Amino acid sequence: MMQLVLLSWHKFIYIYTRTEEKKFNYRKMLALNMKDKIYRAWKEAKKANRWDPDRECYLDPKGNIIVEQSSVTLETLIESIKQEDEQRER
Q: pLDDT tens across 58-79, in order?
A: 999 999 999 988 889 999 999 9
pLDDT at 17: 56
Distance, in Å, from the CA atom of 44 to the CA atom of 47, rounded to the nearest integer, reads 5
In the chain, which residue ranges form alpha helices assigned H by DSSP?
20-47, 74-89
- The total number of structural domains that make up the chain: 1
Number of CB atoms found within 10 A of residue 81's CB: 19
Evaluate whether residue 13 is within a structural domain.
no
**53 alpha-carbon distance from chain centroid:** 27
Evaluate whether residue 5 is within a structural domain.
no
Categorize the per-residue pLDDT at 2 as very low, low, confident or very high, splitting at 50, 70 and 90: very low
Evaluate whether residue 65 is within a structural domain.
yes
If DSSP codes are grouped into helix, strand and coil, which group holds residue 59? strand
Evaluate whether residue 1 is within a structural domain.
no
pTM, to two decimals: 0.70
Evaluate whether residue 69 is within a structural domain.
yes
* Res. 53: pLDDT tops 60: yes
For residues 41-56, one letter each, b for 16 or more C-beta atoms within 10 angstroms of the residue's C-beta and e for the rest, the string is: bbeebeeeeeeeeeee
Give me the domain span that covers residue 37. Answer: 18-89
Evaluate whether residue 71 is within a structural domain.
yes
Distance, in Å, from the CA atom of 4 to the CA atom of 68, rounded to the nearest integer, reads 35
Categorize the per-residue pLDDT at 6 as very low, low, confident or very high, splitting at 50, 70 and 90: very low
Evaluate whether residue 83 is within a structural domain.
yes
Evaluate whether residue 8 is within a structural domain.
no
